[in-house]
Structure 1
């Protein structure tokens, strides 16, 4: 009989993007060799309205709560439940039954947390053992954001007892697993998964820094462009002044008489043409100046927006870096405690026995896979020989 593995984790705001990257396989990780990206297309999502932006979906749900007080910066915004069992359990199931196993688990957990609070239910088939990441916003029945009220010692014990009972009623041969207490570390510490989430966070920080660098470069380019526009405006203002000067100067006409009217008429026609040109230049200069001033104003607004975005990127990068450092410190403490635990005289023999048993199982599995491969090749050769024999008889 196999055992149900059900583990709960709590996530604060800065960890959400890393969880999303891991669950949705948004980037390839070099720190988790258990993932076979060639099989990632076999992963599937069971939540019909799953969002491709966890943070936004969580914020939308929190906004719906109409909370009186603002959510604390260090509040738990998302909880995750990992559902799985050992590889032997899944080897006995067909792909259809494997999906039904996770569908039944997802339906049970949805009833437990409330359908309106579910964010995602992603099944990973590209790692050593199939498992489901069930994510939700920790909202209490009375509409509060409080993970500690939802996952108490009693509620976890009830969940870990009733879920396998429900799965048994649906025809799955599975028993209750090891009890998890609130705040306890994983019984099987998944260091690779943590490293993958860490790697995703580091990439996000690098992207934020790159965006900040691009913003600074764009701001510099806008400032240079603004200087060029100012120079063009000054040039047009000088042209307008020259046109104004033409309108004021050389506008005198002598009194016309019978003897000088041809020269006066010629002078008047010339003056009218100059005035037309001056007025046209002045109108064009004024229009161009207004257009350039609007462009300068638009550049100022864009510059202000980019400066705001740059400041926000810097702040977010700093916060994510602090959260990552805190997580690294926690994982180091957990690993140190885990190593001390394994060195205890009463634990070490059990650990060695466990490791040897796992190695033996892996060796047996590889031998079985090799045997199946050889059988398939032998059957292929027999089919090829049979086809060749039929071809000879037909000739």
Structure 2
């Protein structure tokens, strides 16, 4: 795994002396008896000039532009840790655990190829040092460099942000892992497997995401079409309701012996009207139920709209119920002759229709029984 940090000019001496082990007081985490095992992959880069002086010389070159601000980052440092499969655990005489390479040549190869990767990335001319520390808990390399990049006019400038612009995220870590693994001839685990799987299958994941999005939109379209169909049914029911009300108001009646009398022609209008009102009542109740179910699965705004529609339908249903009661009363009080009321005729006709259906069914069954 590799990580990077950026430093201002006044912070650089502390970093660089830590890397070269020239600091006055080494930290307690440093095992000084193993410091002699450290080495610099960039040895001889600037003979006779200290690392800090090299940095100042680089940023003050005539052809290098740098902002005159105290917070400008003039040094970047990559820390590259040796994978655990190339090391083994050791316990010293004090009982402290640390890791040492399985093979010294393999260790040097690993850091050499890591060094080559960053050299190609940031430019050999900008490298300050590349010290490998063998005297801490896990072998690792500090690859330090001055972040000098080309500006839009082809000149040079100091800019850590641009130098590291594409060095973040799992994709960069995988590129480093693949680079070193290929040259060493073995698969290294510098990055977590699930991260590798994710990045290497990013196209498949994007495709899956797009498919899921398309499926979601298809469901939304289907729900919208369903809602539109329901609203159309509501409108048709309202039209039937208005027509039914108009038909009732247009029926002419007369009174005889306390009964309301209508003509046979009006009765022919009343009969289907009664069926229509009953059917509309059933359909309206079903619509209210469906709208309530749809309300539970919709957005807050849609829920509010549907709730208003349901309340409106409930009010209209109450009006229909009153109309139905009015028709029932009309039928019970209206005489059509021979002492029979409209309700009596309606009941008799229904029974006759039921009997006819039963007789048709018996005849149909008898027909097939004879053929057998």
TM-score by length of 2: 0.43
TM-score by length of 1: 0.41
Give the strand-richer structure, 1 or 2.
2
Question: Higher RCO, 1 or 2 (CA under 8 Å, sep at least 6)?
Answer: 1
The structure with more radius of gyration: 2
Give the helix-richer structure, 1 or 2.
1
